[in-house]
Structure 1
Amino acid sequence: MKNFKTFAIALFLAVGTLSATAQNKAIDTKKSSIKWVGKKLTGSHSGTVSFKSGTLAFKGGKLNGGTFTVDMTSIAVTDLEAGKGKEKLEGHLKNDDFFATDKFGTAKLDIKTVQAKANGVYGVTADLTIKGKTAPVSFDLTVAKNTATTKFNIDRTKFDVKYGSKSFFEGLGDNVINDEFEVEVALVF
């Protein structure tokens, strides 16, 4: 009986220690945001897309993982007004030329490795899946209290988004669209 009590106390302490050191924090999808900027030779467009869900994983108070799902059907253009091209561009971004949101309604990012760089700054490598295609992305993520922020570029052609790309089409002239687009992410958890 004495050994059983000792084992039970040790197990309780071990579980308590594990739960204190490993913690998943769900993001607030309403307060978190993704802003994007796509550039072309003759200008740029900007907009937003919303999170469907997301979790950051911490161990011992330090970031060690995470996974996020983005609602691709929420793509919105913010630099154009309604009736002045906004709806047309949003429709084009959602069709097969770009993100095919009727077939691929979500995108996903899974953090694979995390390297502490400085106080609250982590070098992150993740698998990003868009249109059913997965490719690695790397970025710095700054974590402070209940927020995390990053800004990085995504090469859309790695995800079969080739419309207007000079890497795949010749003779586009002024209609070339940059292969990379920029995302700025603000997480609240």
Structure 2
Amino acid sequence: MKKIILSLAVVATVLTACKENKKDKVQVNEEVKVEAKVADTFENNVDVAASEITWLGSKPTGTHNGVISLKEGSLVVENGTLTAGSFEIDMTSITVLDIPADAKGNADLKGHLSSPDFFDVAAFPTSKFVITSVEDKGDKLHVTGNLTLKETTKSITIPAVISTEGNVTTFKSDTFSVDRTDFGITYKSKKIDAALKDKFINDLMEISFTVKTKA
């Protein structure tokens, strides 16, 4: 009986994780080509200390979550309207929050996420998100941009809001999911190896951006 209850609990965890992730999964398209001079000449006006990216990964036995810092970034706002932006992500700063910082498991997970199995930060110390277009949908902006992870760049569209208080503008996305295999991250993906059974790691990663400009 205990085994049956445990099995049902695992199945429920998997179904819940899949349902939650699929609802917010963003469509991945081919990279939108932009002129280098447009993407690279924004003023670096982002307060990296006040900005962060959250992440969450899941598997049948549970989830892990944490944050990643920005290395630099820009937001271009004209007459209260977001028109452009570029965020360089410091992959070496990846942090695990759900395991005590002084626990061995924390260092082990951070090391594994930093390894070639996942983000290979030695070879790819930065990632990037470059806004290519913004569409105002009333309550939310639909922000399209090129997301680069490792050597792969794909175009995604995410819901977000922008607000300004004093001299500080905040860009905040909804939590969204991307399929890591679209970016060549295939470690323990059931899509790649069906023989993993319940030993897989979900392909969908949850991400959110909170980016603040300097005062």
Normalised to the residue count of structure 1, the TM-score between the two structures is 0.83
Query: 1:118-148 deviations in whole A, cap 9, x for unaligned?
Result: 15x3101111111111011110110011212
Larger radius of gyration: 1
Contact 1:38 1:45 in 2 (8 A): yes
Counting only pairs closer than 5 Å after superposition, residues 1-189 of structure 1 correspond to structure 2 as 26-81=45-100, 82-118=102-138, 121-145=140-164, 146-150=169-173, 151-189=175-213
> How far 1:59 moved relative to its partner?
2.6
Distance 2:103 2:75 in 1: 39
Superposition CA RMSD, Å: 1.5
Q: Select the structure with the greater relative contact order (CA < 8 A; seq sep ≥ 6).
A: 2
Give the direction of change, closer, same or farther, for the CA distance of 1:133–1:107 in structure 2 (3 Å limit): same
Distance 1:34 1:170 in 2: 31
Runs of 4+ in 1 over 6 A off after TM superposition: none
Aligned residues: 166
Distance 2:93 2:132 in 1: 26
Deviates more, 1:95-104 or 1:177-186: 177-186
Query: 1:57-111 deviations in whole A, cap 9, x for unaligned?
Result: 1233211111110000111111012224100010000000000000000001111
Normalised to the residue count of structure 2, the TM-score between the two structures is 0.73
Q: Name whichever structure is richer in strand by fraction.
A: 1
Contact 1:37 1:181 in 2 (8 A): yes
Gaps of 5+ in 1: 1-22
Distance 2:57 2:142 in 1: 24
**1:17 alignment counterpart:** none
Identity score, percent: 37
